[in-house]
């Protein structure tokens, strides 16, 4: 038996624009995504000689072929024309679920990276990201990681300059948002403000953290905040205690704040933790 271990990092959306509905029912996006250090740990055991199995320390996570990590393994072996001779996937989950942090996609990307390494790199990183797009929209970015412009359904990636060292506070409130319903709601809403991608790219190129924070914008944020005013409460705590900028990530419901130092992040974390057990300090990765 062979045991492979791989970290799976969460993402936040520094920007997120929804451009329109496609013929396949999905929406085209344009988003600057950033990997952050909240991580799951994925362990693969190959050659078990038994039927495939998936375990996870969080009860609500599906443990069958519908889990993105399982689908990633299937997709990899099919395309690499290999057979692991039995596989167990163990996921130690720390990334909050239904949060907009791409936890499931991060696990899937970790599976792809680990298997590609084990098989001596049959796929380039971009080919591996392309395989990821067969598994889920956020998987290609999670394969690449870092700071990147993501377009289409998530399959078109362009590496951007790394975000300068930055601490994030990430806070997941107790409610979740249905992603399909949110897209439908957005279809019925006139989008009043969209992210300024040119300004965001310039800020990244200049390594100007304050400007990056100034240009955070996610078109889903006002739609979700209108129904869940508690997001404003979380954002106002972040803002009051020194955040450079804050907003919801992905389709929510987690909010992240960019903090100027670990110390500031610790203060915000302390202010939120009594009301919000799922609050974390993270670094950009
Ligand atoms: O990617 P995920 O499976 O989380 O998407 C859930 C739903 O959100 C999709 O079935 C679709 O209705 C909607 N969606 C979309 N456009 C995207 C991503 C998701 O319309 N780019």
Compute, in degrees rounded to 10, the torsion defined by CA atoms 150, 153, 154, 156.
-60
Average pLDDT over residues 36-45: 98
User: For a pocket test of ligand 1, which of 27, 107, 185 has the largest count of ligand atoms closer than 8 A to its C-beta?
Assistant: 27
Ligand 1 is surrounded, with C-beta below 6 A, by 26-27, 29, 136-137, 153, 179-180, 183
Active site residues: 11, 138
pLDDT tens profile 100-157: 999 999 999 999 999 999 999 999 999 999 999 999 999 999 999 999 999 999 999 9
pLDDT tens profile 240-285: 999 999 999 999 999 999 999 999 999 999 999 999 999 999 999 9
Distance from residue 10's CA to the centre of ligand 1 (Å): 18
pLDDT tens profile 191-223: 999 999 999 999 999 999 999 999 999 999 999
Distance from residue 183's CA to the centre of ligand 1 (Å): 8
Question: What is the pTM for the complete model shown?
Answer: 0.96
pLDDT tens profile 142-193: 999 999 999 999 999 999 999 999 999 999 999 999 999 999 999 998 999 9
What percent of the chain lies above the pLDDT cut of 90?
97
Q: Between β-strands 217-218 and 15-21, what pairing exists: parallel, antiparallel or unpaired?
A: parallel
For residue 231, give its domain range.
167-283
Q: Which atom of ligand 1 is nearest to the CA of 153?
A: 21
Phi-psi group of 152: left, alpha or beta (phi > 0 → left; psi -120 to 50 → alpha; rest → beta): left
Q: Can you give the pLDDT at residue 181?
A: 95
Q: Which atom of ligand 1 is nearest to the CA of 138?
A: 1
Do 240 and 145 sit in the same domain of this protein? Answer: no
Do 178 and 88 sit in the same domain of this protein? Answer: no
Do 229 and 93 sit in the same domain of this protein? Answer: no
Q: Can you give the pLDDT at residue 32?
A: 98
Query: In 23-35, which positions are buried (b, 16+ CB within 10 angstroms) versus exposed (e)?
Result: eeeebebbbbbbb
User: For a pocket test of ligand 1, which of 33, 66, 137 has the largest count of ligand atoms closer than 8 A to its C-beta?
Assistant: 137
Do 149 and 188 sit in the same domain of this protein? Answer: no
Distance CA(37)–CA(285), nearest Å, equals: 6
Give the sign of the dihedral formed by CA 30, CA 34, CA 35, CA 38.
Answer: negative
Do 136 and 206 sit in the same domain of this protein? Answer: no
Query: How many angstroms separate the Cα of 127 from the Cα of each of 28, 91, 131?
Result: 21, 24, 6
The partner residues of 28 in beta bridges, in order of sequence, read 20
């Amino acid at each position: 038996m062979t045991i492979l271990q791989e970290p799976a990092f969460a993402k936040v959306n520094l920007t997120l624009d929804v451009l329109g509905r496609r013929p396949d029912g999905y929406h085209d996006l344009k988003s600057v995504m950033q990997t952050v250090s909240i991580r799951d740990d994925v362990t693969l055991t190959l050659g078990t000689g038994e039927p495939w199995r998936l375990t996870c320390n969080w009860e609500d996570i599906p443990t069958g072929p519908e889990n993105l990590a399982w689908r990633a393994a299937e997709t990899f072996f099919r395309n690499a024309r290999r057979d692991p001779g039995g596989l167990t996937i163990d996921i130690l989950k720390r990334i909050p679920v239904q949060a907009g942090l791409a936890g499931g996609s991060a696990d899937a990307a970790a599976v792809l990276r680990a298997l590609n390494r084990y098989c001596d790199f049959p796929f380039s990183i971009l080919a591996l990201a392309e395989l990821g797009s067969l598994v889920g929209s956020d998987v290609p970015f999670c394969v690449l990681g870092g700071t990147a412009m993501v377009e289409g359904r998530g399959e078109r990636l362009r590496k951007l300059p790394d975000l300068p060292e930055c601490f994030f506070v990430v806070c997941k409130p107790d409610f979740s948002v249905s992603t399909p319903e949110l897209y439908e709601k957005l279809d019925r809403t006139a989008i009043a403000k969209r992210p300024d991608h040119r300004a965001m790219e310039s800020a990244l190129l200049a390594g100007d953290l304050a400007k990056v924070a100034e240009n955070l914008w996610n078109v889903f944020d006002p739609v979700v905040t209108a129904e869940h005013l508690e997001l404003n409460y979380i954002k106002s705590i972040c803002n009051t205690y020194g955040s450079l900028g804050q907003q919801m990530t992905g389709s929510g419901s987690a909010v992240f704040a960019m903090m100027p130092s670990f110390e500031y992040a610790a203060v915000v974390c302390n202010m939120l933790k009594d009301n919000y057990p799922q609050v974390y300090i993270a670094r950009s990765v």
